Amino acid sequence: MKKSLLYSFFLFLSIAQLKAQDKHFTQFYASPLTLNPALTGAFEGSYRVGTIYRDQWRQVLENPIKTFSMAADLRFDAPGKNKSNDAIGLGLMFFNDKVSVVDFSTTQIAISVAYHKALGSGNKQFLTLGTQLGLTQRNVNYESLEFHDEFDGISGYTGTSLEDLPTNNFAFADYSVGLNYTAQFGRSGRVFVGTALHHFLQPTISFYETTEKGDKLYMKLNAQLAASIPLTRDNRVSLLPRVLVAAQGPHMEISAGANIRTAMGKYGGSALHFGSWLRPVRNSDGLGLDAVVAMVGFELNSVLLGLSYDLNLKALQAKQRQSAFEISVAYLGNYDNEEIVCPKF
């Protein structure tokens, strides 16, 4: 009976509220292809491979909620007269999210393309348009569930359920589009501003065959702002503010904070990042502070490693420790062009 009640609760969340859930990473800039398709190819080098893993609510769930993404993208010169300035980005992204309580999973594979248009000479400013096409599958494993009519009254849930259940998986196409602007100011300062519209065709997401409006996935609009601000003349210490605002249906989330980057070694090829974030959210119960985040990162030439820890404040007030841990790793191939204005971490 306990598992049946849990199933009912989480299935309700999955079907009735799933249209408000989406990809979610604290280290959003470590997963650029899930953030904004215009960030495809937005890096210093010719190719990038990265992965990010999120482990959520391990303290209160026997099997935590797990989210994983892996992506690879390329950057190459655009053909034509301005090939030394304009660039094209191509990317491939894989994403998986699993709620182990009811063995419910969301899996997506997506391709993205972006055109980076140089504004003026010197590669100091770029305006980018990107688009992404994805195929998403959602699945729930009924074999891991037990229902009240399976109980034999003596030894356990050994019978066969007569529940009228829909097909346990379905797939849908998904589309996103985004814009991004990057610019250099001063000798080494940089700013990055972008916006993206996800799910703009609002695909149907119900396990049941239905066309009701309430079974559509809400469009999500997000805007991000980032910068790299030198704090020393030699740029060995810099401030990296990051802000993400995402609105989807009645829900809104803001991630705001900053990292300090400190170069290490004689030539500054390695660096240490550390910072803190706040995440206010707006849900049906109003606006409130959801979590505080601590982050540390390591940069070793072409390799970037990030670690973050979310502490949920509402759960802490209830004497629970609902938290999330993330780890991200990225590798920049042929990292030899410091003149390209792109976000690095």
At the topology level of CATH, where does 2-333 sit?
Porin (2.40.160)
SS3 288: strand
Beta bridge partners of 182: 126, 192
Q: Which residue has the tokens 């149907």?
A: 204
Q: Model pTM? A: 0.84
Burial class (CB in 10 A: 0-12, 13-18, 19+), 318: exposed
Domain boundaries, the chain: 2-333
Q: Residue-wise pLDDT tens for the chain (345 aa)?
A: 444 444 444 444 444 444 445 778 999 999 999 999 999 999 888 899 999 999 887 766 677 788 999 999 999 888 876 556 889 999 999 999 988 767 788 999 999 999 999 987 777 899 999 999 999 999 888 776 767 766 666 766 666 666 677 788 889 999 999 999 999 888 788 999 999 999 999 998 888 776 565 588 899 999 999 999 999 888 889 999 999 999 998 889 999 999 999 998 777 678 999 999 999 998 777 788 888 999 999 998 889 999 999 988 765 554 555 688 999 999 988 765 444 545 554
Q: What is the pLDDT at residue 8?
A: 43
Q: CB neighbours of 239 closer than 8 A, spacing ≥ 6?
A: 227, 228, 229, 231, 258, 259, 260, 261
Nearest to 71 by CA among 104, 108, 21, 27: 108
